[in-house]
Structure 1
Amino acid sequence: MFEKSLYDLIRGLRNHKGTEREYINESIKECRKEIRSNDMDLKSTALMKLTYLEMFGHDMSWAAFNILEVMSSPKYRHKRTAYLAAVQSFRRDTEVLMLAENQLKKDITSPTPTVISLPLIAIPHVINPSMANSILSDLIPRLTHSHPAIRKKTVVTLYRLALVYPETLRPAWPKIKERLLDDNEDASVTAAIVNVVCELGWRRPQDFLPLAPRLFELLVDSNNNWMAIKLIKLVRWPGTLLYITDDSQFATLTPLEPRLIKKLLPPLTKIIRETSAMSLLYECISGIIQGGILEAVEGTTEGEEVAKLCVGKLRGMMVIEGDSNLKYVALLAFEKIVRSHPYLVSQQQDVILECIDDPDISIRMRALDLVVGMVNTDNLTAIVGRLMRQLRNAPIMSATDDSKDDRGRNVGVVPYAESDDSDAEESLRQHEQNSSQPPPLPEDYRISVIRRVLDMCSRDTYSNITDFEWYIDVLVQLVRVSPATRNTSTAEEDGELEHSDDVGRSIGHELRNVAVRVKSVRPEVIDAAQNLVLVDRRDQMFPASGNGGQGVLEYAGWLVGEYATYLTRPEPVMTSLLHSNSLQLPAKTLAVYLQAVPKVFSSMAGNDQISWTPERKTLMSLLMARVIHFLEPLSTHPNIEVQERAVEYLELMRLAAEAASGTATGVNNGDFADPPLLLTQAIPALFSGAELNPVAPGAQRKVPIPEDLDLDTPINANLHSLLTQADTEGFETEEEDDVYAAYSDPITSHTDTQSQTATSASDRLDAPHKEPASYQNAAVEEEYLDPDILARRKADRKERYKDDPFYIDPDADRGSGAVTPLSRIVRDGNREDNPLDIDSIPIMELHLDSTSTPDPRARSPRRHRAAVQITMDETLGPDAPPQHIVQPTPVRAKKNLLEVDSAGLAALSLDEDGTRGRALTLAEQERKAAEEAEMRRALGEVERLRLEMQRASERLQGKEE
């Protein structure tokens, strides 16, 4: 009978295109028959085919006992097939593992090295705690085997046993240590032991400190780059040979052996200068940075040289090599070194900024994290401009552009060869064509870029910003490039800004923060908020598609209400607030709009210097009618905040409308009629008072509680009866009732003196002129700002510098372009109707005897920018330590690739008593002292209880007597 081999199975699978499932099911049936045969060759072939099909996800656990049968064959090729099948299909809970234990022991003690290798390779995949303790006695003698390959595999297998059953490492460690200290040991065995030491060292570094001389010798003398990388990682990890971490505070590092720092610096520096292996170069640089070596030598000449050497090598990895992987790891190293040497990293600004436009999104993210740490006053505009240009020019990534989602390109499995005779390495898919267009950006990257821009600009309370008008334009432009967001629920609306995908809220928060803190640019901020609120400008201020940036409306509505006196167009703002589209906004934004409506109305109707004419009365009546019409349906809104504010302001507007209709207007044209006091004094008094300032987070906790504060006694004991009476009785209908008198008679309280929030003309003239940023940045701003923003900035700049003799107007006629006082005199004097007045030409004194050659050493003083006053957070008294410490959010541990919990190794000491041969660390001394104190307290408690029981017994005996 002809039986199919593994090659026949593969050929048949290729020839049955479209019917693979039926062919595989038929092949599995054939394998079930073949594996029950007494012919060991046929069993081995069937097992080989099942192992191949298992790689495609087909179960073969039913053949576990047959695997043991083939494993017991004396032929090596049969054993190899069986051990491969065991590695593929056996698990730690497989029932036949108890039967396989004897076979594993037998093959481990085989005199043939090739046979010994088979169980050594399979044991790490199938081991369990009970089997580990049983096989240990057979594995330890293999550490002295004559073949280096057997010794190497035994070392690795013992480490896997220690992961499953940590106690097996204690008896095996002396033999492993002996192999490591042997100078004549094979290099492969030494490298395997170094790998094991590296895996164990970061858990209990104190146990491996005696090996430091040998490890240092291997680092200096060995030519094995991979072993050198492992040794450097042993130094690099926090909590290893250089540093040990306390269990209670991972961030607190205590030096364990500081002498190693100076000992390791020369060989690591030599490797950095001489090695051509980029992987080893990066690990050396990372070891110097993460291992604390750079911090230990910081401030010394040697430390500066090492830092410059590392930065120079990292720059070469990014520029010369041109490899994306090297570029990524170089950015990682830059991000670590920027914390201690930011000035050195900022010198590499050109290559780092080039990575921001890299086609690889992961490299962009690394570069983005790096530029946030290196930003300063000088490069903030350039970095933000580059990021803004990227957001503006790059298209939005669609589903077909996502490399993680290939459903649009692939259907099922893509074959790489049509037949057995074709080249298997030739892909049938067409190669992707490189495009000169910028790559599309995913939405999460856009959100990350916008958040980084906001973080860079707002760092240290805007310490890096010199032109706040530019920052306001950047915020408006960020709204226009904001990505679309999903529909947020009420719970998400109340969440933190950094955890929300609506970056519009973060942008709005910055607008509000600038308006509150920087009073000099408050009119510009309110103008931007006004444009955002206006309905007729929504198409210009927000993205053309999607709902991106809509979260900014919540803060824009707050700004136009809180600072309504700064509005240049209050009527359109009120129209936009009362627009029907406002009803479709989220409840939180709608509640803010409701709060802004009476404030804007107060600024429009609260002027008591204008006579109450029929025209004004009609205008105010219509405006109040519109407000009432807008608020009436919102009085039954499902959101409690919206409903409460709508009901309150609805009643207020009804009272105002009643007061306006009952106030007589001026009869004659020249007569002055007082407007209703409800409009000019009562309503404005609700929203006037102390100016809102930023408050420190801990200031509220410092406010003392009044001693006479009683929160238990009700304010009005008859409240329930009053509410019941109000529901049953109607309101008075007389025209001259008490309520009417309260809102019609003049008020003689403090509300008579209306606060003047507007600045007088004399104060504005005497105010110091603010020096804006240089207009030469306009060429760069054109790349990331929209034309309307550029036109407004250009007009403002032209008006500001019209009398500046050093300003060259690009739109002026050809010539000098400078409009100076002298040129104005000459130009006016050339006209026929105004002859030139010679006496009006200014005279300047010239010192001809002085040299005209400037001193090259003399440097012109740097032009100081006008300081911008920024309001800081208000607080009460000195800063006190926080009473409540916010616990960090626990990070979910990553799943171990070996699927084995290695936490038991951290508590395992390789010494018999765990502390022999070394001094106790400070943490261990404190722990030991705490244990002794606890023991003393326990003994004292036991003694106290014993005495009480003794006294109780004596009392009972006394009563009995």
Structure 2
Amino acid sequence: MALSSVRGLSVFISEIRNCQNKEQERLRVDKELGNVRNRFKNEKGLTPYEKKKYVWKMLYIFMLGYDVDFGHMEAVSLISAPKYPEKQVGYLVTSCLLNENHDFLRLAINTVRNDIIGRNETFQCLALTLVGNIGGREFAESLAPDVQKLLISSSCRPLVKKKAALCLLRLFRKNPDVVNVDGWSDRMAQLLDERNLGVLTSSMSLFVSLVSNNHEAYWSCLPKCVKVLERLARNQDVPQEYTYYGIPSPWLQVKTMRALQYFPTIEDPNTRRALFEVLQRILMGTDVVKNVNKNNASHAVLFEALALVMHLDAEKEMMAQCVALLGKFIAVREPNIRYLGLENMTRMLMVTDVQEIIKRHQAQIITSLKDPDISIRRRALDLLYAMCDISNAKDIVEELLQYLGTAEFTMREELALKAAILAEKFAPDLSWYVDVILQLIDKAGDFISDDIWFRVVQFVTNNEDLQPYAALKAREYLDKPAVHETMMKVSAYLLGEYSHLLARRPGCSPKEIFSILHEKLPTVSTPTISILLSAYAKILMHSQPLDPELQNQIWAIFSKYETCIDAEIQQRAVEYFALSKKGPALMDILAEMPKFPERESSLIKKAEDTETDTAELSAIKSRAQQQASNALVVTGQQPANEPQVTQLAMVKIPSINNMENNHVDQEVTHTNGTVSEVEPQNADILGDLLSPLALEGPPGVSGTETLSEDGALALAPVGEQENAVKPIVDIAERFHALCVSDSGVLYEDPYVQIGIKAEWRGQHGRLVLFLGNKTTSSLDSVQAVILSPSHLKLELSSVPEIIPPRAQVQYPLEVLNLSPSRDVAVLDFSYKFGTTLVDNKLRLPAVLNKFFQPITLSAEEFFPQWKSLATPPLKLQEVVRGVRPMSLGEMANLLNSLRLIVSPGLDPNANNLVASTTFYSESTRSMLCLVRIETDPADRTQLRMTVASGDPTLTFELKEFIKEQLISIPTASRPPVPPQPQPTAQPISSSDPGALLAGLL
């Protein structure tokens, strides 16, 4: 395009760039669009140059995001222009503005077809580019035969053939039922003989698409592909412009090998030999160098060659060579190369018998298990799992157990499952298997599914020689100060069944076994209590001669649970109490469990259902986990008296490791704004072994929630205000400071200061707003309106319209909390200073934690309450990511500042915090709230939080409130920052009876 032809466009672009703001830009664009419309209406007076210039301007305006529907016809009409400059603009702008379904494209089909079948190569290229970019069905039906003729024409230059091949590829991909490629085998074979590498590369792209759809029709092309690879591998007749860092056309090599993988194994010996010679050359000539670009190209060729080698089921010597090459790759520093090496080793194990060769690199693979990159650790775990057998199972399982303590939360469940499967499949003896499973439960109880401990119980029950050993190991684990609940289940079962086999060992008498089991009873959940009651009954049955003291202790427990609200526990207690009075008859009724029938391991089936071995699936999994912590999305504004509709993404959240917690994943779906969840199986006490991680809001959550820019929820949007008068304090910081303090400055600018003093008692609160005039002139048109959420009842007095110079007025508010909610009341405050109108919307700190009354609970008070709130929606649990890194002490201080009192030592795990408070509202009255936070010392940016209360709405709101504090409100625990005085402001006299709040502070 000549410089003169763009002068007007250049001036217009310069003017747009010089606009100071979006409004000026919009005015300038509207003016230009009006001018373009007028010129198009008087089309008879337009020269081709002017029309082209205005279409260029229209395209630029479209790129800025403005609507230019009126100019579509003008752009399409330029396609039929006889000269190249106008035709080029027409094709380019049409391809940008119109999609494949636009009606105007029908008007251009004949013109485009004439250009394709014409003799002007430049026009042919323009037309093919347009058809390829749009690729609509109508284009395919009308123009595909002409494009095919152009591709196989012997008179076309390579430039046109390349564009024709790519155009046909796009049409075939979008409309395979329309583009007729029957009988194209000979034509493709002819195209694969092309000497021009540009045409050959484009044709190979088309061939890959064709052969992936129907390889049977293209057998005649297979030798041609091998010859192409031979030519490139030997660097024969490859122009310099197609050599990339010394590698002959790496893109063409990759495409050719990709095409060969769509054919079954090659049977022809000559073709197979030639192909393996080429692959051997590629394998021998690839190494890791310092040049990144060369590495990328050579590795792209290499890994495609490896995939082809696996597809062809090559000889063992070549497979050994591939493994040796991959062994070099997993030892380099570049993480991308290590990842590819590990992934390809795993794939080789799945299709070929190279396990013994890969075992030589076991040490390096184990080193990769500790790599900083989690994607590399995942691939190393997959590879170790795939390469494990009887000879190396002990070493691999021990490494997995050692790694389990430091692994990320997202990997621990998979890690535990695979370690359990390997221990079961390749155990040299069953005692080693029992040791491994008990270690797994001890180190990662939260991530041990019921299937794992069910399986070890089956093995012990079916093997009499193993029973004393298993019972003794279970007894040893109970001596630890913190015992995970899954360990309690296993130990209770094993000791109930087989503790009599240990009677002669020290510390294993029936009374001692009962005592150590009963010590843990207050900390376990309902299903575990059921197992413990069964264990007590069997211990009593085996304690012969009968110990009267032990019998009375166990009878007292049975008697206590005969009135339990849980039907399962009540029935067991009643029946065991009655049976235990039958004397010797009890021996027959409570005999040892019979052997389980042999069955397929449910662990292996579970692993097959969840196993992933590709980078693509791993990436999808990672994205889903990142979205899980942000699953709650507000879908729209609603009236304050209507329930809020929330949308939940499909999530599956991994559990968090702790000695006192158990977990089952939960999937939550949304359908038309309604929430459904997987029903919990049963409950847990301090950790919810089988409780879902509920993320949804409970029924009845109401209010209109708007997320402000600092992450806090407000009743109404508190956006950026275009006041000429700017505040001299950070409004968000002042609000967060007042969330943990009862007095301070809420807002201050050069003319006004607004302070707050508050008192809170139960569900009642009293706020006094101090509105102070800092100037020597009056403030006029003063207005203060409270925008109240539905859960707060506010009684307020009126504010005078004028605040005299250097005076202050008080604005009392009576607050009544009706129900739990995180919605925040907003103060809409405005005034005039001279001719300047200032209007601000300020959030008031009448937030959820203001209605807390701190309370400290002992273990005897805490655990029964925690146990009674067993399942969602009264108890909710969530993995929180993106937490602001802080020490355990700092987190405890933050919770205490929110009136959630931390009880030190209540949780046996030193990395956990347990807090409690009492919430007051009209609907709930005084309601006890319990919180448990489990942290990971290795990663302070994530934790698992469990919240429980007697009200579903309160539980949900409290969980979300604490999450907001942990993620986005670092200033909440800071002391208030005193406002800086302005040099022009006159201070109010402290003798004023209503002295300004800043002075009082």
TM-score when normalising by structure 2? 0.50
Q: Which amino acid aligns with 1:560?
A: L
The alpha carbon displacement at 1:697 in A equals 5.0
Question: CA 1:619–1:645 in structure 2 vs 1: closer, same or farther (change >3 Å)?
Answer: closer
The offset of 1:451, in angstroms, is 2.0
Find the partner of 2:306 among 285, 292, 301.
Answer: 285
Cα distance change of structure 1 residues 73 and 599 upon mapping to structure 2, 3 Å threshold: same
Question: Would the alpha carbon gap of residues 647 and 329 (structure 1) be closer, same or farther in structure 2, given more than 3 Å must change?
Answer: same
CA shift for structure 1 position 289: 0.9
The structure 2 residue matched to 1:218, chosen from 225, 228, 238, is: 228
The one-letter amino acid paired with 2:444 is S
Matched to 2:493, the amino acid is W
Identify which of 440, 444, 453 aligns with 1:478: 440
The aligned runs of 1:394-409 (5 Å cut-off) are: none
Please give the alpha-carbon distance, in whole angstroms, between the structure 1 residues aligned to 2:16 and 2:524.
Answer: 62
Q: Map of 1:774-793 to 2, 5 A cutoff?
A: none
Among 537, 540, 546, the alignment partner of 1:601 is 537
Larger Rg over CA atoms = 1
Provide, for residues 891-938 of structure 1, a one-character-per-residue CA deviation record: whole Å limited to 9, x for no partner: xxxxxxxxxxxxxxxxxxxxxxxxxxxxxxxxxxxxxxxxxxxxxxxx
After TM superposition, list the pairs within 5 Å mapping 1:99-110 onto structure 2. Answer: 99-109=107-117
Corresponding residue to 2:590 among 687, 706, 711: 687
CA distance in 2, matches of 1:694, 1:170: 59
Task: Quote the offset at 1:368 in angstroms.
Answer: 1.1
The 1:392/1:6 distance shift into structure 2, 3 A limit, reads farther
**For 1:169, what is the secondary structure of its paired residue?**
coil
Report SS of the residue matched to 1:202: helix
Q: How do 1:62-461 and structure 2 match up within 5 A?
A: 64-73=72-81, 76=84, 79-109=87-117, 111-143=119-151, 144=153, 145-163=155-173, 164-170=175-181, 173=184, 176-177=187-188, 179-180=190-191, 182=193, 185-222=195-232, 223=235, 224-237=249-262, 240=263, 242-243=264-265, 260-275=271-286, 277-292=298-313, 294=314, 303-319=315-331, 322-338=333-349, 339-393=352-406, 441=408, 443-459=409-425
Give the root-mean-square deviation of aligned CA atoms: 3.8
Q: What residue identity is the alignment partner of 1:150?
A: V
Partner Cα separation in structure 2 for residue 372 and residue 650 of structure 1: 47
User: In structure 2, what is the equivalent of residue 468 of structure 1?
Assistant: 431
> Residue 653 in 1 paired to residue 577 in 2?
yes
- 8 Å Cα contact 1:512-1:559 kept in structure 2: yes
1:503 aligns with 2:448: yes
Opposite residue 448 of structure 2, the aligned amino acid is V
Deviations 1:493-519 (A, max 9, x none): xxxxxxxxx434354235424423554
Structure with the larger strand share = 2
Instruction: Give the 3 Å change call, closer, same or farther, for CA 645–10 of structure 1 in structure 2.
Output: farther
Cα 1:607–1:450 shift into 2, 3 Å: closer
Counterpart in 1 of 2:30?
A: 29
CA distance in 1, matches of 2:466, 2:575: 36
Task: Please report how far the alpha carbon of residue 213 of structure 1 lies from its aligned counterpart in structure 2 after TM superposition.
Answer: 2.6
Deviation of 1:348 (Å):
1.7
1:235–1:291 Cα contact (<8 Å) kept: no
One-letter amino acid of the structure 2 residue matched with residue 272 of structure 1: L
Distance 1:165 1:504, change over 3 A: closer
Residue 528 of structure 1, CA deviation: 4.5
Distance apart, 1:604 and its partner CA: 2.6
For 1:562, the equivalent position in structure 2 comes to 497
- Measure how far apart 1:688 and its partner are: 1.0
Mapped contact 1:577–1:593 kept (Cα < 8 A): no
Displacement of 1:99: 1.8
Alpha-carbon distance in structure 2 between the residues aligned to 1:23 and 1:580: 72
**3-state DSSP of counterpart to 2:203:** helix
Report Cα offsets for 1:6-27 as digits up to 9, x if no partner.
Answer: 79759967975xx65x566556
Equivalent residue of 1:525, what SS?
helix
Amino acid paired to 1:468: S
What secondary structure is seen at the aligned counterpart in 1 of 2:330?
A: helix
Verify the 8 A CA contact 1:70 1:82 in the aligned structure 2: yes
The aligned residue for residue 631 of structure 2 is none
1:630 aligns with one of 520, 543, 561? 561
- Partners of 1:7 and 1:584 lie apart in 2 by 77
Query: Judging changes above 3 Å, is the alpha-carbon distance between structure 1 residues 83 and 352 closer, same or farther for their aligned structure 2 residues?
Result: farther
Q: Does 1:45 align with 2:53?
A: no
Measure, in 2, the Cα distance between the counterparts of 1:70 and 1:29.
24
Please tell me whether the aligned partners of residues 19 and 25 of structure 2 are also in contact (alpha carbons under 8 angstroms): no
Q: 1:248-280 CA deviation, whole Å, 9 max, x = no partner?
A: xxxxxxx77677444422222233223562222
- Distance change >3 Å, CA 349–CA 24, structure 1 → 2: farther
Letter of the structure 1 residue corresponding to residue 256 of structure 2: L
Match of 2:470 in 1: 525
Give, in whole Å, the separation in 2 of the partners of 1:363 and 1:603. Answer: 49
AA matched with 1:650: V
**What is the correspondence of 1:758-837 to structure 2 with a 5 Å cutoff?**
none
The answer to whether the Cα contact below 8 Å between 1:70 and 1:79 also exists between their aligned partners in 2 is yes
For the residue of structure 2 that corresponds to 1:166, the secondary structure is coil
Q: Distance in 1 between matches of 2:383 and 2:19?
A: 53
Match of 1:879 in 2: none
TM-score, length-scaled by structure 1: 0.51
1:401-449 per-position Cα deviation (integer Å, ceiling 9, x unaligned): xxxxxxxxxxxxxxxxxxxxxxxxxxxxxxxxxxxxxxxx3x2222222
The equivalent residue for 2:460 is 515
Matched residues, percent identical?
18
SS at match of 1:348: helix
- The one-letter code matched in structure 2 to 1:287 is L
Query: For the residues of structure 2 that align with 1:476 and 1:10, how far apart are their CA atoms?
Result: 73
Q: Is the 8 A contact 1:526 1:559 kept in 2?
A: yes
CA drift at 1:625:
1.8
- Give the CA deviation at 1:382: 3.1
CA–CA distance in structure 2, aligned partners of residues 357 and 305 of structure 1: 31
Matched residue SS, 1:347 = helix
Indicate if the aligned counterparts of 2:561 and 2:573 stay in contact, CA closer than 8 A.
no
Shift of 1:360: 1.9
Q: Could you tell me how far apart the structure 2 residues matched to 1:526 and 1:85 are? A: 79
Letter paired with 1:508: W
**Which whole-Å CA distance do the structure 2 matches of 1:5 and 1:507 have between them?**
71
Residue aligned with 2:595, SS: coil
Question: Whose RCO is larger (CA < 8 A, sep 6+)?
Answer: 1
In structure 1, the gaps of 5 or more residues are 244-254, 295-302, 395-440, 485-501, 543-549, 611-615, 638-642, 660-677, 700-961
Contact 2:497/2:535 (CA < 8 Å) preserved in 1?
yes
Displacement of 1:624: 0.5
**Any conservation in 2 of the 1:602–1:683 contact (CA below 8 Å)?**
no
Displacement of 1:369? 1.0
Match of 2:855 in 1: none
Q: 1:876-902, CA deviations, whole angstroms, 9 ceiling, x for partnerless residues? A: xxxxxxxxxxxxxxxxxxxxxxxxxxx
The SS at the match of 2:282 is helix
Shift of 1:287: 0.6
Paired amino acid for 1:190: L
Task: Work out whether residues 44 and 70 of structure 1, in 8 Å CA contact, stay in contact via their aligned partners in 2.
Answer: no
1:156·1:196 contact (CA, 8 Å) conserved in 2?
Answer: yes
Runs of at least 5 residues in structure 2 that lack an aligned partner in the other structure: 1-5, 41-49, 236-248, 288-297, 503-507, 603-1001
